[in-house]
Amino acid sequence: MYSLLKISFAFTFLLLLVGCKSNISISYDLDEKGKEFQDYPTNIILLIGDGMGLTQISAAMYSNNNRLALAKFPVIGFHKSHAANELITDSAAGGTAIACGIKTNNGNIGTDENGIPTLSILEELDSMNFSTGMIVTSTIVHATPAAFAAHRARREMYEEIALDYLDANVDLLIGGGRQYFQNREMDDRDLVNEFENKGYVVMDQLYTTMNKIKWPLDKNLLYFTADKQPLTVSGGRDYLSFAVRQGVQYLEQKSNKGFFLLVEGSQIDWMNHANDGRGVVMETLDFDRAIWEAIQYANKKGNTLVLVTADHESGGMSIEAESRMNKLKYGFTTNGHTAAMIPVFAYGPGSNLFRGIYENTSIYHKMRTVLGLKERINPLSPNPSSE
Ligand SMILES: [Zn+2]
């Protein structure tokens, strides 16, 4: 009995040790034997780590015993992130490039240089009865998700972006920013009420924790994770990977055509802006856990393309001299964004198309190609014409 106790104590101690070294207890084992992928995907899961360049990825890996879910991706390319009017992009132009396939000016959300709205891939797939979702760790109306479902001249038009979502018919929305839907400054409208009238179940993490959600298959779901911005990972935020695991199951059941899910690790960028290397690593590892959920799903199903990229690098981050494995020293060259090329990781059917170096707008066109979509027409333009 005593020796049994001793063994179990030693085992617990070992677990504690491992737990201290790494905050991920993921095996990274995928059963890839005999796996068969379809030729073309039915579903796309697009994960954008805002501000996640190669150094952010390297720092997360070297802080996590040299391992990442990202290391499972067999196909890697690079995109050029520049905006139409500036070499260094912001998240609005960067998001619009990936969502809509056009280079636009910094600050523009789902609109071209002349302010003309451009249809996003999410909106196009929604019109074809795919189910669609967006899961983010910022407010749900922040620049990156907004580029996929809103059309505004300026990214700061959060309350107007919330109005656009009323018409966007996204099946699943998870993120912060309830304040832009209720107790609004620009009008007295109660968008929570209006979303409910449009067929949404609206829930709030304050009252229903995510593991208590009854996922409404006959309705859409809007789930707020904060009134303003969600917490940082170090502040206790931990919903992203769980939301992705549940979200793909939900979207899969909501349509037999397929689904498109956008996932954003939003706060990697903010840690870069704050030149907080440890924060960058924690946010990137949180994002990597969501990536792990996505590739496990894709590996099991064989019909899902998983893409991971960023809109841009920020911080000009470096890993400094005297760094050691799991003990890194960070440097930063800026509080803003940089123009470095950004890696694109692809897993699953259609992934081969994502090799090479290309513009960020090509990600949009490549996604359309692998889904077999027809000639591109912009019905939001005053003169709809094919391009
Ligand atoms: Zn930024």
pLDDT tens profile 270-296: 999 999 999 999 999 999 999 999 999
Query: pLDDT digits over 3-20, tens only?
Result: 544 444 444 444 444 433
272 CA distance to ligand 1 middle (Å): 8
Lowest mean pLDDT among 58-62, 211-215, 290-294, 382-386: 382-386
Q: Do the domain assignments include residue 164? A: yes
From 317, 361, 308, select the one nearest 338 (Cα to Cα): 317
Q: Is 1 helix (H, G, I), strand (E, B) or coil?
A: coil
C-alpha 69 – ligand 1 centre gap (Å): 24
Q: 337 alpha carbon to ligand 1 midpoint, in Å?
A: 6
Mean pLDDT score, 86-99: 98
Exposed, middle or buried by CB within 10 Å (0-12, 13-18, 19+), for 5?
Answer: exposed
What is the distance between the alpha carbons of residues 43 and 116, in angstroms, rounded to a whole number?
28
Rounded to an integer, what distance in angstroms lies between the CA atom of residue 124 and that of residue 117?
13
The tokens for 172 are 């699943």
pLDDT tens string 25-66: 678 888 776 678 888 999 999 999 999 999 999 999 999 999
Question: What's residue 200's pLDDT?
Answer: 98
d(CA 205, CA 176): 9
CA 291 to chain centre: 9
Overall pTM > 0.85: yes
Q: How far is the CA of 350 from the centre of ligand 1 (A)?
A: 30
Asked whether residue 215 is domain-assigned, the answer is yes
Query: What is the three-class DSSP state of 375?
Result: coil
Which helix (H) or strand (E) segment is 11 a member of? helix 2-21
Per-residue confidence at 188, pLDDT binned at 50, 70, 90? very high
Q: What does the pLDDT read at residue 383?
A: 66
Q: Which helix (H) or strand (E) holds 47?
A: strand 43-49
Q: Is residue 377 part of a domain?
A: no
Note the pLDDT tens digit of each residue in 151-186.
Answer: 999 999 999 999 999 999 999 999 999 999 999 999
Q: What is the DSSP letter of 232?
A: P
Beta-sheet strand order (sheet of 43-49): 200-204, 220-226, 172-176, 131-139, 259-265, 43-49, 304-309, 342-347, 75-80, 356-359
φ/ψ of 47, rounded to 5, equals -110, 120
Is residue 15 assigned to a domain?
no
| Structure letter (DSSP) for residue 324 | B
Contact 287, 47 (CB under 8 A): yes
Tell me, in angstroms, the distance from the centre of ligand 1 to residue 334's CA. 11
**Which residue in 167, 149, 156, 168 sits closest to 110, CA to CA?**
149
Q: What was the pLDDT predicted at 11?
A: 46
Determine the structural domain holding residue 67 and report its residue range. Answer: 36-257+267-371
Cα(266) to centroid(ligand 1), Å = 9
How many angstroms is it from 186 CA to the middle of ligand 1? 25
- pLDDT of 26: 79
Beta strand 356-359 pairing with 259-265: unpaired
| Residue 11 forms part of a structural domain | no
**DSSP code for 181:** T
CATH number of the domain within which 133 lies: 3.40.720.10
**Residue 86 near residue 106 (C-beta atoms within 8 A):** yes
Report the b/e string of 169-202 with b at 16+ CB within 10 A: bbbbbbbbbbbbbeebeeeeeebbeebeeeebbb
For the segment 122-141, the average pLDDT, to the nearest whole number, is 97
4 is a domain residue: no
314 belongs to a structural domain: yes
Q: Is 210 helix (H, G, I), strand (E, B) or coil?
A: helix
Stretch 90-108: mean pLDDT, rounded?
97
Give 14 Cα–ligand 1 centroid separation in angstroms: 39
Round to whole Å and give the CA distance between 30 and 37.
14
Return the structure tokens found at 227: 């009134």
Our count of domains for the chain comes to 1
Q: What gap in Å lies between CA 67 and CA 372, rounded to an integer?
A: 35
Q: Are 149 and 134 in contact (CB under 8 A)?
A: yes
Question: How far, in Å, is the centroid of ligand 1 from the Cα of 333?
Answer: 14
Determine, yes or no, domain membership for 243.
Answer: yes
Structure tokens at 130: 């795919």
pLDDT tens digits, 341-381: 999 999 999 999 999 999 999 999 999 999 999 777 777 77
Across the range 109-119, mean pLDDT stands at: 96
